[in-house]
Amino acid sequence: MGHVVRRPGWGVIDLNTETGDVFVQEDWQYVWLVQPGVIAWTLRERRAFHRTADAHIWRRWSNRRQVVTSGSHHFAARFPRVRVNFDIRWVTRPGHWTVHVTKIRPGAASPRSYVDFAARAIHLDSLDLIPHRVGNDAGVSRPGFRTVPHEFGHTLPDRRGSASPIDDEYDTGDPHLGDTDSLMNIGQQVRARHLTAVLDELNTMLHGCTFAAL
């Protein structure tokens, strides 16, 4: 069978039936912006930003949850566990996402980064690659937070076909406010709930095979 592919609009999900691997990739078309008085991005700086952002996403998201299979399809018997990897690709044509990255002047603070899911737009800046301390509405703070993997989480819907992304979990009233280790809170760990949309898509790709995250 080889590859079974789904294209839900926010990315591509490629299920390799020969190796048991799942590859989730988003195409990012960058818009390189600068604050007033800042020199334009050089090609070397652009490449370094993308390479580092890609590495941060891969490190935090790939193979972070055990995904198991069940059912009558022979794939489930052959691959009771599958690897799920996440990746971004820099494209020069319109992609799944338009990524606006602002180069910040020395000494200036990092603006608040965010994802506009409906517009398929991501807003980042040059300081987002630097680990920093963050806090949540429960009064807990943590050092070493990385912005890009967190914002990447907002590019995934909360379920298949949803117009809403995975939500922030650090706000008052969120049911996961107390889970400070969660990547969508102030931590670094991917939870099974963050893979809901990916699993929903996988569960439409092979009749008789069910995918679930532990």
Per residue in 152-165, pLDDT (tens digit) is 999 999 999 999 99
Confidence of residue 1 (pLDDT cuts 50, 70, 90): low
Token readout for 26 is 């988003």
Question: Does 71 score more than 80 pLDDT?
Answer: yes
CB 157 within 8 A of CB 173: no
Walk me through the domains of the chain, giving residue ranges and CATH numbers: 3-206 (3.40.390)
pLDDT in tens, 15-52: 999 999 999 999 999 999 999 999 999 999 999 999 99
pLDDT in tens, 90-129: 999 999 999 999 999 999 999 999 999 999 999 999 999 9
Amino acid at the residue 40: A
Average pLDDT over residues 80-85: 97
Token readout for 2 is 């080889």
Confidence of residue 64 (pLDDT cuts 50, 70, 90): very high
Question: What percent of the chain is predicted at pLDDT more than 70?
Answer: 100
pLDDT score at 102: 98
Q: Which DSSP symbol is given to 119?
A: T
Mean pLDDT of the chain: 97
Confidence of residue 130 (pLDDT cuts 50, 70, 90): very high
CB 87 within 8 A of CB 58: yes
Q: Distance of alpha carbon 139 from its chain centroid, rounded?
A: 26
Query: Rounded to an integer, what distance in angstroms lies between the CA atom of residue 118 and that of residue 116?
Result: 6
CB atoms under 10 Å from CB of 39, counted, come to 9
Average pLDDT over residues 42-69: 97
Question: Does 8 score more than 80 pLDDT?
Answer: yes
Question: Does 3 score more than 80 pLDDT?
Answer: yes
Query: Rounded to an integer, what distance in angstroms lies between the CA atom of residue 17 and that of residue 2?
Result: 5
